[in-house]
Every structure is written in structure tokens, then in C-alpha cells.
Amino acid sequence: MHPSICLFEELQLRVNQQVLGQETVVEQLVIALIANGHVLIQGLPGLAKTRAVNALAAEVSAQLNRIQFTPDMLPADITGSEIYNNQTQSLSFKPGPVFCHFLLADEINRAPAKVQSALLESMAESQVSVAGVSHSLPELFMVLATQNPVEQEGTYPLPEAQMDRFLMQVLVDYPDKNAEKKMLQLLRAATNSRLAAATPKLTVDAVLAARAEVEQVYVNDNIDQYIVDIVDATRFPQKFSTELAELIDLGASPRATIALDKCARARAWLAGRDFVTPEDVKVVCHAVLRHRIVLSFTCINLKLTSDDVIDKLLENVTFV
């Protein structure tokens, strides 16, 4: 096994020690990190969304900035702005919190759409434009946004254009009883969180090197066809199943195809393989597609979730 893979296995282990009962969430965050993508983390309050991001960032020797989104925010609060200098009698750019390696956008759906949209350029192009001048962001730049379900009071649904910029949407659910019991015991000890995050084990260069290795993971033509077929089934479900056609109103964009490829390669690399299998694609499929498909009213009336629809999708699309 490549030594760098061991570093990321240790990363998952250390984060799992701090965020108990959320192994799938931690794995998906690590996949997104080495696949060079942004993550939208959704779950009810109190389920350790912010803690998971802090734990991950603490394991990397990189800068983490946090923005607590509120209804009265302005776009300049994220990107920065031009300020007047009395001494030089000129304008100069003061960078905002977006200029960092890890940006924790906490409760992103509590800010209006124009503020959420301020992140669009930085997420898509790794740069920020202010007063007609573009400012580059670090090579390692990752937005980790948390949001509460949109049915909660005081929240605003994210624009579809911004949702599509997220590589994955990770759902955080309640931990099982054993994990919650262990959490209580560790909290009483009052040492776990301080010791676990004491010394970062990963450098920015190690993350960038891992990304370069992931790019070399082999994907054969059959896997490419499987990925394209899955995304195509979200757009033209009637070709695969009448039932599926009644559940999906709008399919995924080509970004979904690219995201499936990147995440499948990242998972294969973490497993110590230099090639992608159909199982890699299936495992990352829900996190990549759940925020990119629009469900029909029939689906909502049947109380089916995006994950339920993706399950049916994978049943109908076969790997050849």
C-alpha cells in the first residue's frame, strides 16, 4: 500500500475518534478532500456537522476560516472589499474570510440568496473578483458548508446553480445508541477532543500529492459508460422504467458525470487500488446525485427521498 494512503486512513481514524458514529460521513469528507471538491453537509441541529469539519481541518496543517451565515450578511462579508487608505489616498483590497484553505460556511441556508451566490465564483474558479480585479485563492481550497433542512424556520433554499457546485451532499443522521453512549463516556473524561486534535498529521503538499495520484487511477471504458448511463437515466428515466419516469422531474447536469468519476477514483485510491470498480461508483452515487435531481410531486406525495429514487435508479441501470 502506498505510504500516502496510510496517512489518509489514519486521518479517517483520528476524525472518527472525535466524531463518533458518523463513519460514512467522515469517509465521504475525506473522499471529497482528495477529489478536490466542495461538500454540503446537511442534518438537524446538534448532529456534529460543524464538529466534523473542525476535526477534519485540524488534522491538516492548513488555514480554516469559519463564517456563521445570518440573514443580515452582505456578499462583501465573504469575499472582502475595497477600502480607502487615508495615508496613501487610494483604494486597496482587504481579503475576506474566503481566502483560506478550508472555509466552513456554517448554516449556509440562513443567509439570503445573494450572499450564498457570493461563493459561486470562488467554488467554480478558485478566485474572487472585486471591483473588476480577480484575486486567486489557494491551490487547496475547499468549502465545507453545513445546512439545516429547509423546512426549519428562518432558512432559505440554496439556488440550484450553487447546489450543483458542490461535489457531494453528505447527510448526517443520528448516531446509534452504542456510539452515543461512548460519546458520553469520552466527554466525561474531558480529554479526547483536546488530545486528538493536538498535532496535525497532514500537510497541504500531502493533500495535493494525493490528488495527483488519484488522477492516475485507471477507469476503463465500461466504467465510463456505466457512469454516463446513470446520469442519463436521471434525465431520461422513461427509457429505463415507467415508475422511474414518474419520480424525477429534472435530471443531473454534466457536473454530476464528472463528480461521479472523481469520487469513484478517490474511493478506489483510498482502498489501495489503481483502478475503479462498479462498486466504487455505486458507493459514491447517492452523495453525488441526491442534491442534483429534482423530485416530482408524485415522489413527494409518496414520501420518497432522493436516496430512495437513486436506489431505484441503480436497480434499473446495469453495468455491462
As a whole number, mean pLDDT of residues 93-105 equals 92
Domains of the chain are: 3-207 (3.40.50.300), 216-316 (1.10.8.80)
pLDDT at residue 195, as a whole number:
46
Closest CA to 27 of 306, 277, 292, 269: 269
pLDDT in tens, 66-86: 999 988 888 889 998 888 877
Number of H-type helices and E-type strands within the chain: 16, 13
Higher pLDDT, 48 or 215: 215
Q: Report the distance separating Cα 127 and Cα 302, nearest Å.
A: 42
Q: What is the predicted pLDDT for the residue at 102?
A: 95
- Grid cell 458548508 is found at 145
Cα separation, 144 vs 67, whole angstroms: 11
Over residues 259-268, mean pLDDT: 97
Give mean pLDDT, residues 193-211: 76
pLDDT of residue 197: 47
Report the C-alpha gap between 262 and 255 in whole angstroms: 10
Contacts of 292 (CB under 8 A, 6+ apart): 163, 164, 234, 251, 252, 253, 255, 256
**Least confident piece of the model among 134-148, 173-187, 218-232, 234-248:** 173-187
| pLDDT for res 190 | 56
Per residue in 126-155, pLDDT tens? 888 887 788 899 999 999 999 887 666 777
Whole-prediction pTM: 0.90
pLDDT, residue 3, reads 63
